[in-house]
Amino acid sequence: MVVGASFDTVEDQRQFADTEGFGYLLISDADKSIGRSYHAEREPGEDYYEYGLPRRITYLIDPEGQIAAVYDLAGQDLATHADQVLADIAARS
């Protein structure tokens, strides 16, 4: 299962998913509680902090609910990211 989360509102998430044609769940984390739990909230002095944007991080969570891999996307090539995650899932299967 793929789930995305951001600090946007439910309506913003809905519009984004519709525009982009996403086929997976998006969670509104407007109060940033999920982001804090997963260390995705930016700290003062970090790039984009003043905009209230979360860090771009992907977590691969195993069937037992444990974090199996963490991908910090800061400065990474987003075009190859999905392939890397899918390869890691295949390697664990």
- Segment 34-67, tens digit of pLDDT: 999 999 999 999 988 999 889 999 999 999 999 9
Q: Does domain 3-92 have CATH number 3.40.30.10?
A: yes
Angle 65-20-70 (CA atoms, 0-180°, nearest 5)?
30
- Sign of the C-alpha dihedral, residues 36, 84, 1, 69? negative
How many CA atoms lie within 13 Å of 27's alpha carbon, on the beta-carbon side?
A: 10
- Segment 8-32, tens digit of pLDDT: 999 999 999 999 998 888 999 999 9
Query: Residue 52: what residue type?
Result: G
Q: Considering the entire predicted model, what is its pTM?
A: 0.78
Question: Token pair of 20, please?
Answer: 């982009």
pLDDT of residue 52: 87
pLDDT of residue 57: 92
